Chains A and B, each alone.
Chain A
């Protein structure tokens, strides 16, 4: 089971409205390299891990990804706070507003709904963990693209934090992969 803590893993305090940027960041919510896909991919992979080491790491990183979903959601919420329907239209987000109002809807930046087919499962620890290493790298690259598109320090700070977490997660997955490559063949 999970417990809710009434705080973000990293604080989000965005004061400048920027709808277009919110639309770009949306992909890290419900896009192919987004946090939602990562969380579900890792949590679903726990069931084929051969030992406690893998079960623990996937549980812990999967749980952290859920916290990242909340950070991304907070960023989108604050970037669009107080926006008028006219502003949604002007930012090319009229469709978004028409369908969901101001609710968050998990989609990529183009508006394609989140697709569970993004998550990579193979029922095999090496195949699964290598998918995760790829997922972390794709997310890191996406965060760098997002950082390229803004100079607002209140947006850059959480993006830089999230990017850094991908690097740490990649490292831990790689350690687990190497450990299994050596131990599973014995």
Chain B
């Protein structure tokens, strides 16, 4: 069940025997493994808490139980340079939250509270996308903001282009 403990013991034992045999990496790789705190079974352990969408988004992880860091001491803040970027960051955060809950629900399909939260984020994301598209043009090709001439799909900067 708790492989994490086993790994740590294994590592500690080996480490005593081969203290000088190899250089310890500065970051002990086994510190990067708090993977065993949730299980598939919704009746078993549920995540104690989840981050709010923005905090989860900048971490790449909505679940504090699963989160761990490497090299950087805290997650980078997103610093939008204008209102358009601000709205886009908001969409990024909410749709990320909905997506990470989606993956969780794939393996915990009976967690009703999480389904409710997923739907809350899904609706917020829909609203935020509509608001953005109304002002700055389409993010999706099924957007009603495409009902204009000239054709608006090819107007916005493409996502890989640095503004």
Contacts and interface: CB of A to CB of B under 8 A. Distances in A.
Interface of A: 3-15, 53, 56-57, 60-61, 64, 70, 73-74, 77-78, 81, 140-141, 143-144, 147-148, 153, 156-157, 160-165, 167-172, 174-176, 178-179
B60 A164 contact: yes
A81 B162 contact: yes
B110 to A, nearest CB: 11
B85 to A, nearest CB: 8
B29 A141 contact: yes
Contact of B35 (A15, A77, A144, A174): A174
Interface of B: 27, 29, 32, 35, 38-41, 57-61, 63, 66-72, 75-76, 78, 88-89, 91-92, 96, 99-100, 102-104, 106-109, 138-142, 156, 158-160, 162-163
B76 A160 contact: yes
Contact of B60 (A148, A153, A165): A165
A104 to B, nearest CB: 10
A74 B92 contact: no
A168 B162 contact: no
B86 to A, nearest CB: 12
Question: Would you call the interface of chain A mostly helix, strand, loop, or mixed?
Answer: helix
A53 B141 CA distance: 29
B29 A167 contact: no
Contacts of B102: 60
B61 to A, nearest CB: 5
B162 A9 contact: no
Contacts of B96: 9-10
A77 B160 contact: yes
Contacts of B159: 6-8, 70, 74
B140 A167 contact: no
Contacts of B29: 141, 144
Contacts of B88: 7, 11
Contacts of A10: 57, 60, 92, 96
15 contacts: A3-B141, A5-B140, A7-B91, A9-B92, A12-B160, A60-B99, A70-B160, A140-B32, A143-B70, A156-B72, A165-B60, A167-B32, A176-B40, A179-B40, A179-B107
B67 A164 contact: yes
Most buried by A among B29, B91, B103: B103
